[in-house]
Chains A and B, each alone.
Chain A
Amino acid sequence: MAAGATYEPIATASGTGSSTTITFASIPQTYTDLVIIAANIDIQIDDMGARLNQDSGSNYSRTRIVGDSSGANSYRNSNLSKVYFGYKDNTAGTQTYGILNLMNYSNSTTYKTGIARYVTHSSGYGIMAEVYLWRSTAAITRIDIDSGNANFSTNCKFTLYGIAAA
Chain B
Amino acid sequence: MANTYKLIEARTLNSNQTSITFSSIPQTYTDLLIKASTRNLASNSSGINIYLNSTTPGSQYKEVRIYGTGSATGSDTGNSTISISTQGGGGGYTANTFGNTEIYIPDYTSSNYKMVSADGVPENNATATLLMLTAGLRSNTAAVTSVILEAYESSFVSGSTFYLYGIKNS
Binding site for B on A (CB under 8 A): 1-9, 12, 37, 39-40, 65-72, 74, 91, 93-97, 99, 117, 119-121, 126-127, 129, 155, 157, 159, 161
Contact = CB atoms under 8 A, between A and B. Distances in A.
Main secondary structure on chain A at its contact with chain B?
strand
Contacts of A157: 107
Contacts of B167: 7, 37
B99 interface: no
A69 B64 contact: yes
Contacts of B1: 4-5, 8
Contacts, number: 113
- The 7 A-B residue pairs with the shortest CB-CB distance in the complex, in nearest-first order: A67-B66, A119-B135, A126-B64, A7-B5, A67-B75, A39-B106, A159-B169
A157 B110 CA distance: 11
B6 interface: yes
A9 B77 contact: no
B2 interface: yes
A95 B115 contact: yes
Contact of B117 (A3, A4, A68, A97): A97
5 contacts: A4-B1, A68-B64, A68-B75, A94-B115, A157-B107
B135 to A, nearest CB: 3
A150 to B, nearest CB: 17
Contacts of A37: 30-31, 106, 167, 169
Interface residues of B, number: 39
Contacts of B2: 5, 8-9
Contacts of B107: 39-40, 157
Contact of B77 (A4, A68, A74, A129): A68
B123 to A, nearest CB: 18
B5 A119 contact: no
B117 A117 contact: yes
Given A37-B169, A155-B112, 8 more contacts: A40-B106, A67-B73, A94-B115, A94-B139, A119-B134, A126-B64, A127-B64, A159-B169
B39 interface: no
A97 B104 CA distance: 10
Contact of A12 (B62, B134, B139, B170): B170
A107 to B, nearest CB: 24
B135 A127 contact: yes
Contacts of A161: 4, 169
B1 to A, nearest CB: 5
